[in-house]
Amino acid sequence: MRGGATRTGAGWRFARAGASIAALVLMVGCVAAPTAAPPTASASPTVWVAPTLVPPTATASPAPPTAPPQATVAPTATALPAPTETTPVSTAIPAPEPTAVLAPQPVAVWEGSVTLATYGWEQALVPSTPDDPIYPYPRLDREAVAGPAPRTYGAVFIQNEYVQLVVLPEMGGRILRWTDRTTGRQLLYANPVVKPTGWGYRGWWFATGGIEWAFPTDEHGLNEYRAWQYEVLWNGVRVWDTDDRTGMTVEVAIQLEAGSGRVALTPRISNSTGEAHAYQFWSNAMLTLSDVNAPSPELRFVLPASEVIVHSSGDGALPGAGSAMAWPVYGGRDFSRYPTYTGWLGVFAPQAADAGFSGAYDLGTDQGIVRVAPGWVRGVKLFCLGNLDAGLWTDDGSRYVELWGGLTSTFWADATLEPGNVVSWTEYWYAVSGVGGYTYANAEGAVRLMPNGDALEVALITARLVQVTVVVRQGGAEVSRWQVVVGPGRPFHATSASGAGEAWGVQVVDEAGEVLVALGVGG
Structural domains in the chain (count): 2
Give yes or no: residues 464 and 409 share one domain: no
- Domain assignment present for residue 72? The answer is no
Domain match, 424 and 485 both: no
For residue 328, cis peptide bond before it (omega within 30 degrees of 0) = yes
Between CA 170 and CA 189 the distance in angstroms is: 18
Find the CATH number of the domain harbouring 457: 2.60.40.2550
What is the pTM assigned to this prediction? 0.82
Domain membership of residue 203 (yes or no) is yes
Choosing from 400, 433, 466, the residue where a domain stops is 433
CA dist., res. 185 & res. 11, Å (int): 41
Q: Are residues 130 and 268 in the same domain?
A: yes
Do 305 and 347 reside in the same domain of the chain? yes
Q: Are 359 and 370 in contact (CB under 8 A)?
A: yes
Compute the distance between CA of residue 240 and CA of residue 62 in angstroms, rounded to an integer: 12
Q: What is the CA radius of gyration of the chain?
A: 22
Residue 163 CA to residue 431 CA, distance in Å, equals: 9
Q: Is 151 exposed, middle or buried (0-12, 13-18, 19+ CB in 10 A)?
A: middle
Q: Of 254, 240, 232, 251, which Cα lies nearest the Cα of 76?
A: 232
373 with 491, same domain: the answer is no
472 & 361 share domain = no
Residue 51 within a domain: no
279 and 256 in a common domain: yes
Would the CA dihedral through 47, 52, 57, 58 be positive or negative?
A: negative
Domain hosting 480: range is 445-520
Q: How far apart are CA 462 and CA 34, in angstroms?
A: 15
Q: Is residue 284 part of a domain?
A: yes
Residue type, 194: V
Residue 86, judged by CB atoms within 10 A of its CB (0-12, 13-18, 19+), counts as exposed
Residue type, 277: H
| Same-domain pairing of 369 and 491 | no
Instruction: Tell me the DSSP string of 278-326.
Output: EE--EEEEEE--SSSSS--TTEEEE---SEEEEEEES-TTS--TT-EEE
Report which of 426, 103, 451 is spatially closest to residue 264, judged by C-alpha positions.
426
Please report, as a single letter, which amino acid is at residue 432: V
Q: Is residue 67 part of a domain?
A: no
Helix (H, G, I), strand (E, B) or coil at 445: strand
- Rounded Cα distance between 201 and 222, Å, is 7
Between the alpha carbon of residue 191 and those of residues 119, 333, 390, the distances in Å are 12, 30, 11
What pLDDT score does 373 carry?
Answer: 97
Q: Can you give 353-390 as a three-state secondary structure string?
A: HHHCEEEEEECCCCEEEEEECCCCCCEEEEEECCCCCH
Please tell me whether residues 346 and 401 are part of one structural domain.
Answer: yes
CA distance 447 to 437: 8
Grouping H, G, I as helix, E, B as strand and the rest as coil, residue 170 is: helix
In this structure, is residue 4 part of a structural domain?
no
Least Cα distance to 509 among 523, 498, 520 occurs for 523
Q: How far apart are CA 198 and CA 143, in angstroms?
A: 12
> What pLDDT tens digit does each residue of the chain (523 aa) get?
444 333 333 333 222 233 332 332 222 222 233 333 333 333 333 233 332 322 323 333 333 333 333 333 333 333 333 334 433 344 444 444 444 556 788 999 999 999 999 999 999 999 999 999 999 999 999 999 999 999 999 999 999 999 999 999 999 999 999 999 999 999 999 999 999 999 999 999 999 999 999 999 999 999 999 999 999 999 999 999 999 999 999 999 999 999 999 999 999 999 999 999 999 999 999 999 999 999 999 999 999 999 999 999 999 999 999 999 999 999 999 999 999 999 999 999 999 999 999 999 999 999 999 999 999 999 999 999 999 999 999 999 999 999 999 999 999 999 999 999 999 999 999 999 999 999 999 999 999 988 877 788 999 999 999 999 999 988 778 889 999 999 999 999 999 876 556 678 899 999 999 999 998 754 4
CA 454 – CA 457 distance, rounded (Å): 10
Q: What is the pLDDT of residue 391?
A: 96
Separation of alpha carbons 339 and 25, rounded Å: 27
Structure confidence at residue 497 (pLDDT): 76
405, 433, 461 - which closes a domain: 433
Q: Cα(238)–Cα(506) distance, rounded to whole angstroms?
A: 38
Q: Phi and psi (nearest 5°) for 107?
A: -75, 135
Q: Tell me: do 213 and 322 sit in the same domain.
A: yes
In a domain, 472, yes or no: yes
Q: Is 337 exposed, middle or buried (0-12, 13-18, 19+ CB in 10 A)?
A: middle
Residues 410 and 304 in one domain: yes
Can you tell me the distance from the alpha carbon of 413 to that of 427, in angstroms, rounded to the nearest whole number? 21
Domain-located, residue 74:
no
What local confidence, expressed as pLDDT, does residue 66 receive? 33
Which CATH number do you get for residue 401? Answer: 2.70.98.10
* Rounded Cα gap, residues 47 and 101, in angstroms: 39
Q: How far apart are CA 233 and CA 309, in angstroms?
A: 39
Q: Are strands 504-510 and 466-474 parallel, antiparallel or unpaired?
A: antiparallel
Indicate whether 274 and 173 sit together in one domain.
Answer: yes
Residue that terminates a domain, selected from 409, 433, 457: 433
